[in-house]
Each structure stands twice: as C-alpha cells, then as structure tokens.
Amino acid sequence: MDSIKTRIESLRRELNMHNHNYYVLDNPTISDREFDEKLKELERLERENPEYDDPLSPTHRVGSDLSAKGFEQVMHERRMLSLSNTYTVAEVDEFVQRCRDGLPGEDVEIVGELKFDGTSISLHYEHGRLVRAVTRGDGEKGDVVTENVMTIRSIPLQLQGSGWPDRFEIRGEIVLPWKAFDRLNEERAFNEEPLFANPRNAASGTLKMQNSAEVARRGLDAYLYYLLGDNLPFDNHYDNMMAARSWGFKVSDAMKIMHSIEDVDEYIRYWDTARKELPVATDGLVFKVNSLRQQLNLGFTAKSPRWAIAFKFQAERALTQLRFVSFEVGRSGTITPVANLEPVLLSGTIVKRASLHNEDIIRSLDIHEGDMLYVEKGGEIIPKITGVELSERKPGAEPVVFCRDCPSCGTPLRRMEGEAAWYCPNKYGCIPQITGRVEHYVGRRMMNIDGIGEETVTQLFDMGLIHDAADLYTLTEADLMTLPGFGQRSAERILQGVEESKNVTFDRVVYALSIPYVGETVAKKLSRAVGDIDTLMSMSVERLTAIEDIGPRIAASIVEFFADERNRKIVERLRSYGVQMAMPETDEAGRSDKLAGKSIVISGTFTHHSRDEYKNLIELNGGKNVGSISKKTDYVLAGANMGPAKLEKANKLGIPIVDEDTFLKMIE
C-alpha cells in the first residue's frame, strides 16, 4: 500500500507542476494527451484507494455539479480597501510627489503594475496549502468561494519551492481571458441569452455560481498582486511578489520598479498602447510605494491607502472605414443591420462588425456609404458605433438605405406600428428563420442537445435531413455520418443528446418552440399555470391574459402560433417521439397560494438558498418577483449586504423588509 500512496503523491506533484507550466508560465513540457493519461491514472488510484483522497488533489479541479445553498460569509482579517482613482498623468505625478513630501529625506521607489479588469479575491494559505478564498464583498466581509476558486488552474492549491510564511494572505484579480469571454458570449448568443457586457461582469458572475463544474468549464484565470502576513520574506512589495511567483502564483510580468516621475510617465505611455495586445482585459494601472515601512508611515484615509493610486485609461475609441452594411435575419424574422468595418484593434480584439440595431439608429447617426466611423468599447466589450467623422466623408457618398425586402427570401418587409424593427413575415419559407428556430430548440437552456450548432443545423437543412425541430428525432447514425467532418463518435453524441432531450421539462419545451414573445420566464409561468400542451393550444386570448404577467400581445401571439396547423403538427410529432408535453405531478406538490398577489423584491446574499432558488419559491407559492422597489412592492426579501439604495427606498416607502428565516416561516 505504501507504493500506491507514493505513486499517488508523485502523480499529484507532477500534475501540479504541469498545471503551473501550462496555466502560469504558458510553457507546457508535455502533450495534452500525456497529461490526460497521468490524470486518469491518478483518478483511478484515488477511486480505488479512497483513504488517500485529498480535497486539493488535481483531480478535483473540475468542480462539482452539486448546487450549494448560498455562500458562507466571513469577516476579512484585513479590510479590502478600494484605491483612489485618477484619470490624468498629472494627477499620478502629484501622487508621487505627495508620497515624497510625506517621507522627507527618503528615497521613494514606486512599483507600477497593470490594473486587471476582473473581480477581487483574497486567498489564504496555511502550511503551503490553500485553505480559503473570499470575495471582496463590501471590504469588511466577503463570500467564501473556495470550491469555485479551486477550479482555476492558475491558482496553486499546494505551493512549490520554499520560504513561504506558515500562514499568509495573497490578493489578486479573478479574470476571464478574451478567448474564454468570446466563447462564452458565442454560446449565450446561440442560446439567445443576454450577452455579458464585459469580461469583468462575466468573471464576477461566474465566481458566484452555485455549480463549480460550470465554473471550471468557463476558464477563469487569476493574477496575484499583493502579499500580506506577519512574517513576509522581504520588507518591500516587489520582492515579496517575486517570491510569490517562485511559490507558483501567477504574477504579471508588467510589474516594474520606478525611481522617478519620468519613469512613471514613460510606464503610462508604454502600457496605454501595449495593453491592447494582452490576453485579458485591463482598465488602468496601479502605482504603489514599494517599501512596506514607508507604506505604514504614509497610512490610510477612511477609504483607501495613501501609498497607492489607480490610473484609469480613457475609453477605447477608434476610427475605421465602413465597408458595407449587411442585413441579417433572426429566427423571429427581425432584420438587424450590421456595419462591416475595416478591421481595427480595440481592447485586445480585432473588431470587424458592429450592430446598428435598427433603421432609426442608421438615420440618427446619418451614416453614408464609405463613411469613417467611430467605434467604441470603453468598459463594454460589445462594439458600438458612436459617430461619423464628417470631415472625411467622400463627395457624393449616398446615405445608407435600409432594405425593404428580406435579404434572404425577397419577401417585402413589415414594420409593426410603434416599433423600430422591420421583420420578414415569411416565417415558414425564409431559411434563416427556419434554421434559427432549430438552433434555438437545441440550445442549452432549451432542449440542451449537445453537438448541434449553427453550422450543423445549416448542413442538415441543406442536405434535406431536417425541415423543422421534430425532424431531429428521425435522424440516424448513417444520416449524421454523411455530414462533412462527422464520424461515429460525433454522430453518437448528437443521438444521445436527442434521446436525453425527451426528459427535458415541459416549461423548457414551451420555451424551445420559439413562440414569439415567449421567453424563458414567460414559458415557465405559462407551463405552471396551464399544466399541459393541450390546454395551452386550446386557450383564448381572454383566458391567457388572466394568467399573471401574460399581456394581450403575448396572449395574441400564442393564439396565432397554435392557430397555424404547421405548428400543431410539429407539436404532435414531438409528442409522438416522447418529448414532455405536461408538467410533472411532483411539480404541483409544493405549490401554494401563500404569497398570492404579492410582489417581492430580492436583495443581498443568502445562507439557506440561492437567489434563484428564492425566486422559484416565490413563484411556487403564488408570488411575483419584481426587480425594483415601488409603492406596489409588498415585501423586500433581504439577505446580507442589501443594497443601500434599495434599503433607503424601502424605508422611505414603508415597505416591510423580511430576512430569509422570516420568509421561510411565511411559506412554512
């Protein structure tokens, strides 16, 4: 048995080293296949010898799909203060001079480093092992997110080298690299979910997910920038961070010691351009006094240290030429104009396209063919056209004209009164609408059929293998293997996904049907109110509008959808293939009307359940979730860190505030 234990420990050390080489040094020394083989051997040995399990083993990096019940909150051992912000080089120079004035007669070294645009984290290590990871929270206390942080492969679970304090804290930034961010937003766009505006929001939201397996899948990264403790190896910030790098932490190569204001100014000039090539988002630079003794002497204000300052870059803006405007058809028939641009680098990515949204936007910007357009990102990653450089407009350039016929099928477009969007009414003969509905059907939050994306749907349609979503259930392995690049494993993966989709709950089926104006939330309310597809298909506008939050437009859209025999045939075929067409009886078991007619706002963080679980409990007991406080609000369900603005407004309007224990008693 000793030989097995020795082999397990050896594999763990080796895999930790390879993780460090790959995720921190970006210098792998073995192939992915060799790494996977060693990981599988370790998984097997740990499975066969559970007495040697270790929660920090590399095999636990994948996370768990078990949902936690909220996050524990703890007080920070040392407050996590924010930094004072400045937006000009002159203000940074003034900061350096203030530090010198506060330390008369002393040499003052300044350390410059990148300000990563993510979410702050505090990592605690004891005896060289990660024991706790805590979010910044309100600076006084934060959420314990250790299980999620353990999935981030650039964060060492067991330190390497030597010389670390027996107990210390290191702070840094959890980030989502551009590549991972783009991939995540592509998935969300495919599933018609709201896109993350920037990597910061995506990183923050990911870190607070209840499913650590999903956290692991998204590909977070981490840069560490500040070491704290009672027995640090050096008396200055820079050397401590270099020591932390030797222990396995990812410390930015951009960290630099400077001795003069001129050095600081040159550092700003350099990174104002060079940051655009970085693999992660940055929104500025941070300057710190290097000496820890000098930091103590300079001290703190009530909100921030006097020995550090953040310099924020201006919002990124570029001028590039419009090549042409294309018009794209969505699954609902909406026509979206897109500006196709000469490629330009913004915030680390090449921008070639930017949505112009609708005809009114094109007119308000007064865009002409071949115009030089200003493209901006700022803190937002989704490119936005913000203006036209009129001085560079070519003589005789014609205004961009919005199309009046569908660019795909040629059908004359229509525009609903009071709406900005034009749409193609040829729902069942316009190819992008047909394939778009199938793409929506297979999406993760709908039927979750793995292995089918936009390209595969188009191939299946072009080859005549599918004409609507119901045809997916008639596909065979032989059919799929006729697709370019498809082999047996790819075909089996899709067929397995199709089979598993028969277990997807009725509310998600309703969402997957692509009924106009019926999104995920409306589908959930509908399915719970009506119970089954036959009832839904037979309901009138009057009966539908009697359901809470179902207005006349949604009701009319549902009636019109099921009045079309083509849609009813698709539903019947889906039913015949085994797709769920009714809510399970168990779903009704926990329902009540204890909160009937009550509008409830949720604010803060919770212990017993997650926010989403509380939203479900409110709906299950007849209540209504609302996002903002008004005179019509009946209660505020408040957890820790309730937003001060919401608290003030609730008190001003006299809205009752209940904690989660009181709320759970209310619904028994």
Active-site positions?
A: 115
**In the beta sheet, which residues pair with residue 124?**
132, 169
The token pair at 346 is 């913004």
The CA distance from 9 to 590, in Å, is: 48
The CA distance from 606 to 70, in Å, is: 6
The CA distance from 280 to 468, in Å, is: 40
The token pair at 586 is 């168990």
How long a stretch of residues is the chain?
A: 668
Nearest to 271 by CA among 331, 314, 210, 214: 314
Mention every residue, 6+ apart, whose C-beta is less than 8 A from residue 371: 321, 322, 388, 389, 392, 393, 397
The CA distance from 472 to 502, in Å, is: 12
Give the strand pairing for 308-312 and 282-289: antiparallel
Q: What DSSP string describes 333-353?
A: -BEEEEEEEEEEEETTEEEEE
Helix (H, G, I), strand (E, B) or coil at 76: coil
Work out the number of other CB atoms within 10 angstroms of the CB of residue 161. Answer: 11
- Cβ atoms of 330 and 454 closer than 8 Å: no
Helix (H, G, I), strand (E, B) or coil at 108: coil
Nearest to 301 by CA among 76, 78, 84: 84
- Cβ atoms of 377 and 386 closer than 8 Å: no
The one-letter amino acid at 311? F
Q: What DSSP string describes 553-581?
A: HHHHHHHHHHHSHHHHHHHHHHHHTT---
Mention every residue, 6+ apart, whose C-beta is less than 8 A from residue 642: 603, 604, 636, 657
The CA distance from 348 to 381, in Å, is: 10
- Cβ atoms of 71 and 144 closer than 8 Å: yes
